[in-house]
Amino acid sequence: MLLSAGIGVSAAIAIMVDGASNGNYKKLLSIIGEELDDGNPLWKTLYGRGIFNRSYIYMIKVGEASGRLAENLIIVAEQQVKSKSFHSKLTSALIYPGIILSLTLVIGIGVILFVVPNMAKIFGDMQVDLPLPTRVMIDLGHFVTDNPLLFTASILAFLMLIIFIFFVPGTKKIGQAIMFRVPRIKDLLKEVEVARFGYVMYSLTQAGIPLTEALLSIEQSTDLSLYKRFYHYLVQSVNDGNSLESSFKKYKRLKPLFPTNIQQMIVAGERSGNFVSVLGKISGIYEEKIDITSKNLSVILEPLLLFVVWLGVLFLALAVIMPIYGLIGGLDGL
């Protein structure tokens, strides 16, 4: 914005230093400003600082050389916004079921710790034959109260397993493989990645970034191991002089990652010379599909979650009510 208003790079950095509230960010900007004053180009002051990935640095370098620095920085900013948007749509589709299941687990533990012991004492005093749901609940309550450390360790182990499978960089590919086998969720993951591929590739190639650099940027920025492996293959294949069409044909199991129609659009764009515009169309089409799929996913998950909660409530109700009815039937027999 500052560069577009005609302010120089050094002056723009100085303005940002004055407006920065975060100490570390302000210090970093000051260092960049000092290096700019020493005559270094902007791309060089940003290199190796962990602010932008390699392709963004390359885009800034191309922008400085061609006089399109402001335009290329706008593309960088738009890419960041798009990436956050895609990530937030995926997160928002999964956060609701996560909250419901977490609350269900917490309530279940609360029932086991505070309700079941009293219930076991009452039914024990009645000396009646207990149905299976009640016996299961009472036995579970006894296990928890008699082995609190083991129960706590089990809960922590389960949480650690979830973190290990879904969040640890070296092993989260296991969780991704699981998610890619869940209907609807795998569709949303694929649509988000295809849309991001279309937009990032469109932005980078439009800014004059070579195809291999653009593919390398996609490889570095994606979190999905299946796509990261495919992008790495594409970088190597294109560097070896192969076209995207021949690269697609040689890669096994490409269809689950990129639908056939998307492959055909990319190949047609490569043949006709309209590769950049085709990438823009892919991005637009799949952004709309993401909105539709994320909304449909919420609609589908809601009744499934209600069914899971209903099963829990039904089990608890049967465990409590069935012994009472048995007791009433015994009294009627007297």
- pLDDT attached to residue 216: 83
What are the two backbone dihedrals, phi and then psi, of residue 252, each rounded to the nearest 5 degrees?
A: -80, 145
- pLDDT attached to residue 326: 64
Where is pLDDT greater, at 284 or 89?
A: 284
Q: Quickly state the pLDDT bin for 113 (edges 50, 70, 90).
A: confident
State the chain's mean pLDDT as an integer.
82
The amino acid present at 147, given as its one-letter code, is: N
**What span, in angstroms and rounded, lies between the C-alpha atoms of 146 and 90?**
42
Could you report how far apart the first and last alpha carbons of the chain are, in Å?
Answer: 88
Asked if residue 280 has pLDDT above 70, the reply is yes
Residue that the structure tokens 């009433």 belong to: 328
Mean pLDDT of 135-160: 85
Is the CB of residue 330 less than 8 Å from the CB of residue 123?
no
What pLDDT, in 10s, does the model give residues 212-238? Answer: 888 887 887 788 888 989 999 999 999
- pLDDT attached to residue 35: 92
**Residue 157: both structure tokens together:** 């182990």
- pLDDT attached to residue 126: 67
Is the model's pTM score more than 0.85? no
**What span, in angstroms and rounded, lies between the C-alpha atoms of 204 and 76?**
9
Asked if residue 250 has pLDDT above 70, the reply is yes
Structural domains of the chain ordered from first start? 9-77 (no CATH), 78-334 (1.20.81.30)
Asked if residue 333 has pLDDT above 70, the reply is no
Mean pLDDT of 228-256: 90
What pLDDT, in 10s, does the model give residues 164-207? Answer: 988 887 888 888 888 888 877 788 788 888 888 888 788 778 77
Q: Quickly state the pLDDT bin for 128 (edges 50, 70, 90).
A: low
**Residue 36: both structure tokens together:** 């700019």
Residue that the structure tokens 């640890």 belong to: 168
In this structure, how many other beta carbons lie within 10 angstroms of the beta carbon of residue 168?
13
